[in-house]
Amino acid sequence: MTTMLSTQTDYDDLVRDDRVSGRVYYDPAVFEEELEKIWYRDWIYVAHESEIPEPGDYVTRRIGLQPVIVSRDEDRAIHLLLNRCRHRGNTVCQSERGNAHAFRCAYHGWTYNNRGGLVGVPYAAGYDGSFSREEYPLARVARMATYRGLVFGSMSASGPSLEERLGKAAKLIDQFVDLSPEGEVVLRSGVLKHSFKGNWKMALENSVDGYHPNILHHAAMMLITKGRKVDMESVFGEHTDALARDLGSGSAQLDLTPVNRERGGRVVPHGWSAEAWQQYQDAMGRRYGAGRASEIIQIGGPHFCIFPNIIFILNQFRIIQPVSVDETIVYYYPTMLKGAPTEMNQRRLAETYLIHGPAGRVAPDDFEAYERNQEGFRARTNEWLVLRRGLHRERRERAGTIAGHETDETTQRGIWRHYREVMRS
Amino acid sequence: MRSSSDAIFQLTSEFAAVEVGRDVRGKGPRLMIHDMQSGRCIFLDPLELAALAWMRHEDLLPFLDPARRENGRHQ
């Protein structure tokens, strides 16, 4: 007789207040548990409404590892369906995007409308009278909700609403979207896809790590600021006024507002013409009034992440897609500001591929760092990752958030606190 | 049977591939639709096309039932 050893993971042991064990990045059992407790329970960002503007449009995505279809029907309603034929389980859509009012499984031809209803099956006489199409629609993701055009799905039928879950991050989404003179961002300018051999949580943590930019991206910073009166030390250095903020629920922010205000809304000069800039300011003024428009522009775009899979930095949405415990894809979607001058949106697009493309100045550094991280975890003596930076100087703010110096690990600690709470539940 | 249309273009998705063109061999113009998978072809006159323009996509769903191919109308 053999005795099964308990394989239950003690997350209080692995995730401490000032450090985490490397095991949370490489243990397949932890990854499997994350799928159940995070990816199949929480609200997960899946797409933006502007990606499927026309009736019949669809995109295929994943929630965790589960394939889903985001479709728009002829009444313009959005549906979030599982991409799995009800017959024998094939994915019915293979393309990443397309336009179709019906999906036909290539295996045996079962055909569904884009609301998920089963339209018909070949050789129907092979099914007896008790067979009903109504019993075999494509399954739906349990809950779907949108906020400012962002579409989220949850595999769990119960739990907090999306707005409850977004919490303080909702206002930062507003800040991002309100930069549009029409109050909408548009994601129809392609996507950069970066795959790396490392755990998904690295991309989330790194997105709000204010300690590394001037070090890992030093060469990029020199290139970006070359010939410009920009001192990156005052943005990501020791003497910056910017903050690292734990927003709660695993969301976190690098608050560059003080720096942005000093610099007219942008850390780095934007590079568009004075004429385009004036057009933009006028359009913003028409929508919000001159005072409010000026405030929105001065504050600039926010830099933050929402646990577990969406990041807002500069002009982009970044989406984290786990593949396995040690493989991840990060999608960089440049966003266009609806109603902004074309020149301005072209610059936003260029900024995305120049800085974050495969030969860009910043993103390749990050992916190299993630892979070195994963490699380093093979060394199993003293497995702790130290996250104590700034623990002594962070403070709770009146809003209930926790703020530290921008280079401090307040943001990582916030992410891990939430992670521990979710994983031990 | 494909038509000698004066302007043919292809439309493809992951579910089907068709050639569409304006056919002028009859006494009046028609729209030719050629299903590249089965080789079947249909010619639709302007009145039929106008009728299609009044349809909702859900009205077309019965035609997408794969069983229709088995009942002889499409053979």
Q: Give the count of domains, chain B.
A: 1
- Bridge partners, A70 (sequence order): A59, A80
ipTM, 2 dp: 0.86
* Across A240-254, A261-275, A342-356, B26-40, least confident range: A261-275
Domain ranges of chain A: 44-154, 167-423
Length of chain A equals 425
- From chain B, pick out residues whose CB is under 8 angstroms from the CB of A121: 66-67
Q: Does A113 touch chain B (CB under 8 A)?
A: yes
**What is the mean predicted confidence (pLDDT) over A218-235?**
78
Cβ of A109 within 8 Å of Cβ of B57? The answer is no
Cβ of B65 within 8 Å of Cβ of A120? The answer is yes
**Cβ contacts from A onto B, under 8 A:** 52
Question: Residue A109 corresponds to which tokens in the numbers above?
Answer: 């031809």
Better pLDDT: A267 or A39: A39
CA-to-CA distance for A244 and A239, rounded, in angstroms?
A: 13
pLDDT band at A321 (very low <50, low <70, confident <90, very high): very high
Residue B3 lies in a domain: no
Q: Rounded to a whole number, what is the distance in Å from the CA of B7 to chain A's nearest CA?
A: 23
pLDDT at A4 over 70: no
Q: What pLDDT is recorded for position A139?
A: 98
Give A414-425 as a 3 state SS string: HHHHHHHHHHCC
Residue B58 lies in a domain: yes
**Which residue in B13, B14, B66 is closest to A121 by CB distance?**
B66
C-alpha distances in Å from residue A144, one per residue of A47, A103, A158, A250, A284: 11, 21, 12, 20, 31
CA-to-CA distance for A73 and A57, rounded, in angstroms?
A: 8
Q: What pLDDT is recorded for position A269?
A: 64
Q: What pLDDT is recorded for position B75?
A: 39
pLDDT at A1 over 70: no
Q: What pLDDT is recorded for position A395?
A: 97
Provide the CATH number for the domain formed by A167-423 in this structure.
Answer: 3.90.380.10
Cβ of B68 within 8 Å of Cβ of A120? The answer is yes
Structural contact between residues B22 and B40, judged by C-beta atoms closer than 8 angstroms: no
- From chain A, pick out residues whose CB is under 8 angstroms from the CB of B66: 104, 109-111, 120-122
- From chain B, pick out residues whose CB is under 8 angstroms from the CB of A109: 66
Q: What's chain A's Rg over C-alpha atoms?
A: 23
DSSP tag of B24: -
Q: What confidence tens digit (pLDDT) does each residue in B13-58 have?
A: 999 999 999 999 999 999 999 999 999 999 999 999 999 999 999 9
Cβ of B14 within 8 Å of Cβ of A101? The answer is no
**Which residue in B57, B65, B69 is closest to A74 by CB distance?**
B57
Q: What pLDDT is recorded for position A221?
A: 84
| Beta-carbon contacts of residue A181 (< 8 Å; ≥ 6 apart) | A280, A283, A284, A286, A287, A337, A338, A339, A340
C-alpha distances in Å from residue A297, one per residue of A273, A281, B9, B28, B56: 16, 8, 47, 60, 44
Mean pLDDT of the residues in chain A:
94
* Across A51-65, A109-123, A302-316, B61-75, least confident range: B61-75
- From chain B, pick out residues whose CB is under 8 angstroms from the CB of A111: 64-66
CA A424 to chain CA centroid, nearest Å: 23
**Which residue in B15, B56, B58 is closest to A104 by CB distance?**
B15
Is CATH 3.40.50.11540 correct for A44-154? no
pLDDT band at A2 (very low <50, low <70, confident <90, very high): very low
Amino acid at A360: G
**Which residue in B56, B57, B67 is closest to A120 by CB distance?**
B67
DSSP tag of A37: I
- Bridge partners, A145 (sequence order): A152
Q: Rounded to a whole number, what is the distance in Å from the CA of B10 to chain A's nearest CA?
A: 15
* Cα angle A185, A191, A192; round to 5: 135
pLDDT at A244 over 80: yes
Better pLDDT: A227 or A99: A99
**Which residue in B15, B60, B66 is closest to A120 by CB distance?**
B66
Q: What pLDDT is recorded for position A17?
A: 96
Residue B38 lies in a domain: yes
Cβ of B70 within 8 Å of Cβ of A122? The answer is yes
C-alpha distances in Å from residue A189, one per residue of A62, A71, A179, A195, A315: 20, 19, 18, 20, 12
Q: What confidence tens digit (pLDDT) does each residue in A408-422 have?
A: 999 999 999 999 999
Sign of CA dihedral A202, A205, A206, A207: positive
pLDDT band at B4 (very low <50, low <70, confident <90, very high): low
**Which residue in B13, B60, B61 is closest to A99 by CB distance?**
B13
The single residue listed with the structure tokens 């094939």 is: A90
Q: What pLDDT is recorded for position A262?
A: 81
Cβ of A111 within 8 Å of Cβ of B58? The answer is no
Burial of A385 (C-beta count, 10 Å sphere; 0-12/13-18/19+): middle
CA-to-CA distance for A158 and A164, rounded, in angstroms?
A: 13
Query: What residue of A is the nearest CA neighbor of B69?
Result: A122
pLDDT band at A190 (very low <50, low <70, confident <90, very high): very high
Full domain range(s) for residue B26: 8-69
- The alpha helices in B6-75, defined as continuous H runs, are 46-53, 57-64
CA-to-CA distance for A328 and A321, rounded, in angstroms?
A: 6
Q: What pLDDT is recorded for position A229?
A: 65
